[in-house]
């Protein structure tokens, strides 16, 4: 074992000296190291095979759990500041060690399982909720060819995996044998199943335009090729940004629909009925404590990251961002700033918006939630599909006004249809 | 003896209701949004409420029996604990009743300070109600903390005047305990001028909010006749459109000197009750402005014998507390202690209608209807 | 339902979010141990006994008249009169206990006390590990000097000193008047 | 490759047996889910991504949740009835089923001609080609299914909707 190790170290030194000289595309450093490691593991046999697979997945889980810790801190700080108070500022500078403190607290807390709960279901629920959360991350193109698995039907796989969440939430609700969690479980299934329809339909628009469900192809399609390959750096920057789908009329509507149903899929603010703390204490999480609760929490946040990641890849141009081709490099596709910087920036911006929404909006009732999905989001998604189809075949000077007109009109019609008689009759208050 | 037989036997009864099976849930004393210790046994068909039985009495402290063997004066601090959110209006009602019983006159300056304190307490109470109501709706704390931020300023004024933030024990028979300095009046003026900005911010945040509208309009509708028959008083009654405000009808103490308006609702549902509190806050500000403008100098407490022995008789004094008509009924037999001491709690009487308002609505609506009735368990259980 | 209300609401929270970094008025929380605490001059918590001069027991104003014991609503004050060696009752309490866990700080004892001897303290850090020894305040724990009284409640202390001085002056006048009247009646005899 | 295949097939057997044997219906549904996901795994091994995705989406996401809904709404869920699975003639039943299995399976294997070395050319399974195929050759079938599904959906809603009081 000793000689393979120093052989390994010697190779590293050799490789570094060879490559650092040219550095013709700076954002590919990680990809170069990964490719080189994979060739190195190749000749290690079975151990190498396992290590190569781990290399693809372990950094993913580590990075997104780190993002989870950062978002809990961001959320508590953001909500604090919205409510005119400091966020956590005792543990570490500006409270940065607060997620660690929470983690340790969760580890040390006693894990109470109610006496009448059926143990197997109670134990399995957090395990099963981790599977869709983590596998959802596999299809996110974090940087230029930094992706765990770029398979052909990536998007479809993502939505298929997403539907398992409702199963585990119901198992948690059912297994803890508590009336509030039973109600929470039922609400969760109803909500998750009925919000998958708008989610998938608003994502289909992008597949229709790009022609493939492979996420890295979708992200590539969001660059204006002619501008990016031109020489002027300004044009390169604009090429990377203006190509995003969100700047198309159908893209903007699709993005809004996708973001709203993502809020519902991830049980975030206006739709957090499964664990509505003012009505049914903590919904399906009532009987969980200690590390199982932390697992549920981690899975929920990682699930939110996965769905926000899909939002950015589909509409906000995944790792595309205003960066230019480094002048010293000859490779036309090289980029100065690595792609994952933009990807994580967009994720945290969307997360910030979710925190902002959580700080402001109250909760919907269960029947309004259903009504909102089936009578508001779904028709708009279908109309958006129709408009995108026409937009695809029209010239741009016909397409833009047509789609903008149709989308706004349909939004107004659907709003009027949903306005019930008694509700929002604007109230007059007589003064005696 | 371990009764569980491996499978999980049900511990709740499944009640046959025609053909559907009902889930009986105890929204028990240990529930996050019952504003204190209060239990509702709810029969659920899916999410809609079939039957609701309220249980209260968890916070019963035997207040009325206790008062029968204490002197009139030493019961005063206990009235703070009745409706612990607005302690000074309880003192005022009790002091009013004893003054009626022993016909003690109250000097001018004391009357003005009592009105200022009463209206400040009304602001505090309505702010808390609106904050907790939106918190029950689901906005995690943001409107509540804005309300608490404003409430802090008023509690600082109370602490400056009486020495304590919530349990002030500030009013005495025939006036108030300590005079209020001029700086206090100046800072009170500053607060009253700055308050409408907070209310406008609140309006912009909440009243137009679609989710608040769709969740609270048409929920828990209280008709005029039912409200009058059930003896409902206060903002809940006015939300149904009945024009009955003790400050206007009784015009006790010096309320006839201030001109202010009384807002009335139209439908009497949760949204009206919520909006009414916001509008009443604006009216309280107009009263405060007028009171602060023409408060006279002078002594603050009329001569009262240290150990009060009112001649035998009875008296019933009532005021418009932020929750409704708060009344005290005292019977004295000439001795130092009252023979009978009875409190008319507006929260309890408003609570009796909970079952009629909630039936047919969803589980989430009961929390909102309960929140909009504005209950403080200290007053309900006494 | 067309979303304007929600957007307006979001603007308000955004204004508060950025406001909390800028204006003091939007960030009202005070971090307690480090930052200041907002004790007002009149704020009251648990009563204490005032003594003049140096020696606490000698300078005690309290004469054990037990008025406050009778008037206290939750009856949390316990007084025992002091006896000197020959068993004659002294105008001083040997035992003056206040059960701080029962006392609700209602200030009735201060109003009832005719000798300005019991006043309300504004010190609120009273937490102890033991409910019985820690919160049963005996006489030694309750006695505090008049200077301390002037430090925490300057106006009240000044007012009570004026009243005491006034009473002292009236007593001296009565004394002088009685002496004058006695001396006037003396010569005729 | 072989190891994963063995693990998955073990899961399939466990899932299938426990679906039948378990008294508690809720556990039976969960083991059914295990079965479906193991089958999806095997499809993935065969590089048939689209079919694996369809398997997860349809069986695990929809059929599984549907059965859970059905289980939730039935009354005695914890299966306390505990009827005994073993009827006395189980030996003969097993023998009969095995004989039928071999009578049909063996001739099928014997007569069908496998290509000599199976993986001669790996057909490139791509979703695009499947899509094209679906849209071109079997469009009428697509339309038929679409109409059938909408009819079923509307029928479901009509049954579930509360009776409208005229």
CA angle (A38 as vertex; A9, A215 as ends), nearest 5: 140
Contact B6, B25 (CB under 8 A): no
Give the pLDDT band of residue B8 (cuts 50, 70, 90).
very low
Contact B73, B177 (CB under 8 A): no
Pick the more confident residue, C53 or B173. B173
* Closest residue in chain C to residue A354, using alpha carbons only: C10
Is D135 among the domain residues? yes
For chain B, the residues whose C-beta falls within 8 A of a C-beta of chain C are 70-71, 73-78, 80, 142, 146, 149, 152, 156, 159-164, 167, 169, 177-178, 201, 204-214, 306
Structural domains of chain B ordered from first start: 15-55 (no CATH), 63-381 (1.10.645.10)
- The residue behind tokens 């001649």 is B311
Give me the pLDDT at residue A116, please. Answer: 82
Is D149 among the domain residues? yes
Tell which of D79, D112, D135 closes a domain: D79
Instruction: State whether residue A272 is helix, strand or coil.
Output: coil
The C47-51 sheet, strands edge to edge: C118-120, C47-51, C143-145
Residue A34's alpha-carbon distances to A145, A152, A343, B292, in angstroms, are 11, 22, 19, 76
pLDDT tens digits along A39-65: 888 878 788 888 888 888 898 889 999
Classify residue A305 as left (phi > 0), alpha (psi -120 to 50) or beta.
alpha
Query: Distance between CA atoms of A216 and A314, rounded to whole angstroms?
Result: 10
Is D118 among the domain residues? no
Residues of chain D with C-beta less than 8 angstroms from the C-beta of B8: 78
**CA dihedral (A325, A327, A329, A331) positive or negative:** positive
pLDDT tens digits along C141-153: 888 888 888 888 8
Contact A373, A63 (CB under 8 A): no
Nearest CA to B194 out of C23, C13, A359 is that of C23
Residue A27 has pLDDT above 80, yes or no: no
Mean of the pLDDT values across residues D73-88?
Answer: 58
**CA dihedral (B363, B368, B372, B374) positive or negative:** positive
Question: Do D1 and D73 lie in a common domain?
Answer: yes
Give the pLDDT band of residue B2 (cuts 50, 70, 90).
very low
Nearest CA to B96 out of B9, B171, B199 is that of B171
pLDDT tens digits along A294-307: 999 899 999 999 99
Poorest-confidence range of A23-32, A73-82, B299-308, C155-164?
A23-32
User: Which residues, 6 or more positions from C75, have their beta carbon under 8 angstroms from its beta carbon?
Assistant: C69, C102
Is D85 among the domain residues? no
Poorest-confidence range of C103-112, C125-134, D128-137?
D128-137
Residues of chain B with C-beta less than 8 angstroms from the C-beta of C9: 204-206, 208-209
Nearest CA to D67 out of A171, A114, A427, C174 is that of A171
Mean of the pLDDT values across residues D66-95?
Answer: 69
State whether A415 and C28 contact (CB < 8 Å): no
The token pair at A221 is: 């399609």
Contact B227, B236 (CB under 8 A): yes
The token pair at B45 is: 């068909």
Query: Distance between CA atoms of A198 and A175, rounded to whole angstroms?
Result: 30
**CA dihedral (B10, B14, B19, B20) positive or negative:** negative
Span between the terminal Cα atoms of chain B, in Å: 40
Q: Which residues of B321-330 are buried (b: 16+ CB within 10 A; e: fewer)?
A: bbbbbbbbbb
Mean of the pLDDT values across residues D7-33?
Answer: 87
Topology of domain C47-178, per CATH?
Alpha-Beta Plaits (3.30.70)
Residues of chain B with C-beta less than 8 angstroms from the C-beta of A431: 261-264
Q: Which residues of A291-330 are buried (b: 16+ CB within 10 A; e: fewer)?
A: bbbbbbbbbbbbbbbbbbbbbbbbbbbbbbbebbbbeebe
Identify which of B7, B14, B21 has the shortest CB distance to residue D80. B7
Structural domain total, chain D: 2
Q: What are phi and psi of C83, to 5 degrees?
A: -125, 135
Beta bridge partners of B328: B317, B343
Q: Domain spans of chain C?
A: 1-38, 47-178
pLDDT tens digits along A310-359: 999 999 988 888 887 777 777 777 777 888 889 999 999 999 999 999 98
CATH code, domain with D3: 1.20.120.1200
Q: What value does the mean pLDDT of chain A take?
A: 85
Is D19 among the domain residues? yes
Structural domain boundaries enclosing D135: 126-161
Nearest CA to B143 out of A83, A306, D127 is that of A83
Give this complex's ipTM. 0.83
Angle between helices A290-315 and A154-162 (to 10 degrees): 150
pLDDT tens digits along A411-425: 989 888 887 655 556
Tell which of D48, D79, D110 closes a domain: D79
Residues of chain B with C-beta less than 8 angstroms from the C-beta of D75: 14, 21
Is D47 among the domain residues? yes
Residues of chain B with C-beta less than 8 angstroms from the C-beta of A422: 217-218, 267
- On whether any CB of chain B is under 8 Å from the CB of D25, the answer is no
DSSP D105-141: HHHHHHHS---SSS-SS-----HHHHHHHHHHTTHHH
The token pair at D110 is: 């014997």
Give me the pLDDT at residue B13, please. Answer: 47
Q: What value does the mean pLDDT of chain D take?
A: 80
pLDDT tens digits along C15-51: 888 888 888 777 778 777 776 666 778 888 889 998 8
The rounded percent of chain B whose pLDDT value lies above 70 is 94
Query: Distance between CA atoms of A416 and C106, rounded to whole angstroms?
Result: 59
Is D32 among the domain residues? yes
Instruction: State whether residue B343 is helix, strand or coil.
Output: strand
Question: Do D133 and D61 lie in a common domain?
Answer: no
Q: If you count residue pairs, one on A and one on B, with CB atoms under 8 Å apart, how many are there?
A: 131
Tell which of D22, D51, D79 closes a domain: D79
The token pair at A335 is: 């980029």
């Amino acid at each position: 074992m000793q000689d393979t190790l120093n052989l390994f170290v010697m190779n590293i030194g050799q490789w570094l000296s060879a490559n650092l000289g040219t550095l013709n595309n700076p954002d590919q450093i990680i990809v170069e190291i990964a490719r080189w490691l994979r060739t190195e593991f190749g000749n290690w046999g079975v151990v190498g095979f396992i290590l190569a697979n781990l290399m693809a997945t372990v950094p993913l889980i580590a990075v997104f759990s780190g993002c989870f810790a950062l978002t809990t801190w961001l959320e508590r700080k953001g909500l604090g500041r919205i409510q005119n108070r400091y966020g956590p500022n005792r543990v570490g500078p500006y409270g940065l060690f607060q997620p660690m403190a929470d983690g340790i607290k969760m580890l040390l807390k006693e894990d109470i399982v109610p006496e009448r709960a059926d143990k197997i279901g109670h134990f399995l629920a957090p395990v099963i909720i981790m599977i869709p959360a983590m596998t959802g991350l596999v299809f996110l193109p974090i940087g230029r060819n930094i992706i765990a698995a770029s398979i052909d039907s990536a998007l479809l796989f993502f939505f298929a995996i997403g539907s398992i969440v409702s199963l585990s939430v119901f198992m948690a609700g059912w297994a803890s044998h508590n009336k509030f969690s039973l109600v929470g479980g039922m609400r969760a299934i109803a909500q998750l199943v009925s919000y998958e329809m708008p989610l998938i339909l608003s994502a289909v628009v992008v597949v229709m335009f790009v022609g493939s469900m492979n996420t890295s192809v979708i992200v590539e399609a969001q660059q204006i090729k002619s501008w990016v390959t031109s020489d002027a750096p300004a044009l390169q920057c604009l090429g990377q940004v203006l190509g995003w789908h969100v700047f198309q009329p159908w893209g903007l509507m699709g993005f809004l629909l996708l973001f709203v149903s993502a809020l519902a899929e991830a049980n975030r603010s206006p739709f957090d009925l499964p664990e509505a703390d003012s009505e049914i204490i903590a919904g399906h999480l009532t009987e969980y404590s200690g590390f199982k609760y932390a697992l549920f929490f981690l899975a929920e946040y990682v699930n939110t990251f996965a769905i926000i990641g899909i939002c950015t890849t589909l509409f906000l141009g995944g790792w595309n961002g205003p960066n230019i081709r480094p002048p010293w490099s000859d490779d036309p596709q090289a980029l100065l700033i690595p792609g994952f910087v933009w990807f994580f920036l967009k994720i945290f911006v969307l997360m910030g918006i979710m925190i902002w929404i959580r700080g402001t909006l109250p909760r919907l009732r269960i029947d309004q939630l259903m009504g909102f999905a089936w009578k508001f989001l779904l028709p708009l998604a279908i109309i958006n599909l129709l408009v995108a189809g026409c937009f695809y075949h029209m010239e741009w000077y016909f397409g833009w006004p047509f789609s903008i007109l149709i989308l706004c009109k349909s939004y107004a019609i659907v709003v009027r249809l949903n306005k019930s008689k008694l509700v929002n009759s604007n109230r007059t208050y007589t003064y005696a | 003896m371990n009764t569980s037989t491996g499978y999980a036997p049900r511990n709740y009864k499944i009640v046959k209701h025609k053909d559907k099976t009902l889930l009986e849930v105890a929204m028990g004393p240990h529930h996050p949004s019952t504003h204190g210790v209060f239990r509702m046994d709810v029969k659920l068909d899916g999410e809609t409420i079939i039957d609701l039985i309220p249980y209260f009495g968890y916070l019963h402290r035997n207040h009325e029996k206790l008062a029968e063997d204490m002197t009139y004066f030493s019961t005063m601090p206990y009235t703070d604990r009745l409706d612990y959110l607005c302690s000074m209006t309880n003192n005022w009602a009790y002091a009013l009743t004893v003054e009626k019983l022993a016909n003690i006159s109250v000097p001018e300056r004391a009357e003005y300070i009592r009105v200022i304190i009463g209206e400040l307490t009304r602001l505090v109470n309505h702010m808390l109600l609106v904050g907790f109501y939106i918190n029950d709706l689901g906005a995690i704390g943001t409107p509540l903390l804005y309300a608490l931020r404003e409430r802090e300023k008023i509690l600082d004024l109370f602490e400056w005047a009486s020495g304590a933030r919530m349990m002030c024990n500030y009013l005495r028979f025939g006036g108030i305990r300590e005079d209020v300095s001029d700086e206090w009046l100046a800072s009170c003026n500053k607060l009253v001028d700055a308050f409408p900005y907070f209310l406008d911010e609140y309006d912009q945040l909440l009243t137009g909010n679609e989710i608040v509208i769709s969740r609270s309009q048409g929920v828990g509708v209280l008709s005029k006749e039912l409200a009058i028959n059930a003896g409902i008083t206060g903002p809940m009654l006015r939300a149904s459109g009945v024009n009955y405000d003790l400050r206007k009808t009784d015009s006790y103490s010096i309320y006839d000197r201030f001109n202010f308006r009384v807002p009335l609702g139209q439908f009497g549902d949760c949204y009206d009750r919520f909006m009414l509190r916001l509008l009443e806050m604006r009216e309280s500000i107009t009263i405060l402005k007028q009171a602060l403008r023409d408060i006279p100098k002078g002594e603050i407490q009329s001569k009262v014998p240290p150990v009060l022995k009112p001649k035998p008789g009875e008296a019933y004094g009532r005021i418009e507390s932020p929750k409704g008509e708060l009344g005290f009924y005292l019977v004295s037999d000439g001795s130092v202690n009252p023979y009978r001491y009875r409190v008319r709690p507006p929260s309890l009487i408003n609570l009796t209608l909970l079952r009629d308002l909630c039936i047919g609505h969803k589980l989430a609506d009961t929390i909102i209807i309960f929140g909009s009735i504005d209950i403080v368990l200290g007053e309900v259980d006494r | 339902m067309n979303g304007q209300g929600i957007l307006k609401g979001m603007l308000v929270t955004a204004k508060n979010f950025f406001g909390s970094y800028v204006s003091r008025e939007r960030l009202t929380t005070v971090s307690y141990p480090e930052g200041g605490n907002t004790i007002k001059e009149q704020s009251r918590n648990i009563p204490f006994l005032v003594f003049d001069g140096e020696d606490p027991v000698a300078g005690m104003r309290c004469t054990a008249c037990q008025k406050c014991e009778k008037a206290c609503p939750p009856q949390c004050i316990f007084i025992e009169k002091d006896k000197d060696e020959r068993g004659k009752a002294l105008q001083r309490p040997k035992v003056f206990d206040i059960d701080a866990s029962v006392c609700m700080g209602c200030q009735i004892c201060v109003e009832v006390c005719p000798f300005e001897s019991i006043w309300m303290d504004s010190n609120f850090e009273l937490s102890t590990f033991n409910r019985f020894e820690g919160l049963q305040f005996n006489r030694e724990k309750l006695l505090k000097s008049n200077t301390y009284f002037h430090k925490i409640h300057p106006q009240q202390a000044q007012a009570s000193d004026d009243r005491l001085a006034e009473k002292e002056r009236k007593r001296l006048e009565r004394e002088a008047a009685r002496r004058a009247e006695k001396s006037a009646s003396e010569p005729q005899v | 490759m072989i190891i994963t295949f063995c693990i998955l097939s073990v899961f399939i057997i466990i899932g299938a047996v426990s679906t039948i044997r378990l008294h508690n219906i809720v556990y039976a549904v969960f083991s059914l889910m295990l079965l479906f996901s193991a089958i999806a795994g095997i499809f993935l091994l065969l590089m048939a991504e689209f079919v694996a995705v369809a398997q997860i989406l349809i069986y695990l996401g929809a059929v599984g949740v549907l059965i859970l809904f059905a289980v939730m709404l039935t009354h005695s869920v914890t299966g306390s009835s505990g009827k005994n699975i073993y009827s006395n003639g189980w030996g003969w039943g097993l023998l009969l089923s095995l004989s039928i299995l071999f009578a049909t399976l063996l001739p099928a294997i014997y007569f069908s001609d496998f290509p000599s070395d199976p993986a001669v050319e790996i057909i490139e399974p791509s979703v695009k080609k499947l899509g094209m195929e679906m849209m071109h050759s079997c469009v009428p079938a697509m339309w038929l299914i679409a109409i059938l599904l909408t009819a079923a959906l509307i029928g479901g809603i009509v049954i579930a909707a509360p009776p409208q009081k005229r």
